[in-house]
Amino acid sequence: MKNDVFERALAAYLCFAAGDALGATTEFMLPREIRDKYGIHDKIIGGGWLHLKAGNVTDDTEMSLAIGDSLIENGGYTVQGAAASFARWMKKKPVDIGSTVRRGIVNYVTKRSVVSLYSTFSAGNGAAMRNFPVVLYCLKDWVWFEEITISQCHITHNNELSDMATLVLGEVVKALIETGDKRAALDIVSEFIKKDPTFSHSKYNGEASGYIKDTFRTVMHYFFDSDSLYETVVRTVNQGGDADTNGAIAGMLAGALYGMDGIPQKWLRALDQDVVRLITKQTEDLLNAPMNVILL
């Protein structure tokens, strides 16, 4: 059982990075433009508006690794530790950084603020996209998941829609890692949508922007409507829009369900091998790290 958990956790994190690298090519494109240019885009070839090298990842994976690093290096969660790790990442001049993320990190660097101002404009997917290491860290003691998640989200995104979606995504991927059962995920999502039907993906309208509801609906539509990891991730990134983040989150869920065997070998070979090594080490470290939390 323990090995199953490790294997699905690792597959989720690696496929998160693969979805990021694959989706970066089609970010901000329309499905029609993607079809005209690539037919079906399913190879990690880089390019896109960021002119990425094939196999490189973007802010989604880099910020996840940053928060994972902070949990390990600080021997647990501290909000200052997480914010400082984001600040170190920003100093390295990342290939991409969202405007809300930048504003939040600048506020930390200049004013030591670890809680951004509440804003209805902070309903982007930039906090949800980096929360998977928190899931891995909290698997051993889930009572801390909500508080750590909200704390790390609010460093840059202080918005209840972002909070809700990030929490439910965490619950879903936890259930998938622990059970490998798609119905467990469906139960959680159905319950959530009952409470807030505006997140429902049942009549998916193809909107795949970085707005958290669009991301949530896109990912859930393709996750539940597909029968393989390949299909889930490829259909998501071929929807364009915020294709790297949506591809990463879809990849995380698909990896947790289908495991390592579900990930195409050519994706694992194409991914930046330093990223593969960091993710593998971090997955093991986060699952084993003792729970220790200082929120303020």
Annotation: binding site for Mg(2+): 58-60, 242, 244-245
CA quadruple 89, 93, 96, 97: dihedral, nearest 10: 60
Burial degree of 120 (CB within 10 A; 0-12, 13-18, 19+): exposed
| Comparison of 57 and 188: residue with beta carbon closer to Mg ion | 57
Task: State the amino acid at position 100 in one-letter form.
Answer: T
Select the residue whose beta carbon is closest to Mg ion and give its number.
58
Q: Is residue 62 at the binding interface for Mg ion, with CB under 5 A as the rule?
A: no
Burial degree of 104 (CB within 10 A; 0-12, 13-18, 19+): buried
Q: Is residue 58 at the binding interface for Mg ion, with CB under 5 A as the rule?
A: yes
Least separation in angstroms between CB 51 and Mg ion: 14
Q: Which stretch binds Mg ion (CB under 5 A): 154-162, 191-199, 213-221, 236-244?
A: 236-244
Interface with Mg ion (CB under 5 A), residue from 176, 244, 267, 276: 244
| Comparison of 58 and 159: residue with beta carbon closer to Mg ion | 58
Long-range contacts of 270-278 (CB under 8 A, 24+ apart): 270/21, 270/43, 270/44, 270/54, 270/55, 271/14, 271/17, 271/18, 271/21, 271/44, 271/55, 271/57, 272/21, 272/55, 272/56, 272/57, 275/17, 275/55, 275/57, 275/61, 275/65, 276/14, 276/17, 278/65
Q: Is residue 69 at the binding interface for Mg ion, with CB under 5 A as the rule?
A: no
Least separation in angstroms between CB 40 and Mg ion: 21
Transcribe 84-119 into DSSP letters. Answer: HHHHHHHHT--S---HHHHHHHHHHHHH---SPPP-
Least separation in angstroms between CB 277 and Mg ion: 21
| Comparison of 42 and 60: residue with beta carbon closer to Mg ion | 60
Interface with Mg ion (CB under 5 A), residue from 12, 19, 60, 163: 60
| Comparison of 49 and 121: residue with beta carbon closer to Mg ion | 49
| Comparison of 59 and 69: residue with beta carbon closer to Mg ion | 59
CB 33 within 8 A of CB 11: no
CB 12 within 8 A of CB 132: yes
Burial degree of 38 (CB within 10 A; 0-12, 13-18, 19+): middle
Q: Is residue 125 at the binding interface for Mg ion, with CB under 5 A as the rule?
A: no
Q: Which stretch binds Mg ion (CB under 5 A): 53-61, 107-115, 187-195, 286-294?
A: 53-61
Q: Is residue 59 at the binding interface for Mg ion, with CB under 5 A as the rule?
A: yes
| Comparison of 105 and 138: residue with beta carbon closer to Mg ion | 105
Q: Which stretch binds Mg ion (CB under 5 A): 9-17, 114-122, 175-183, 238-246?
A: 238-246
Q: Which stretch binds Mg ion (CB under 5 A): 54-62, 180-188, 257-265, 277-285?
A: 54-62
Least separation in angstroms between CB 283 and Mg ion: 20
Q: Is residue 214 at the binding interface for Mg ion, with CB under 5 A as the rule?
A: no
Tokens of 91: 């100093």
| Comparison of 60 and 214: residue with beta carbon closer to Mg ion | 60
Say how many residues touch Mg ion, by CB under 5 A: 4
Site residues, Mg ion (CB under 5 A):
58-60, 244
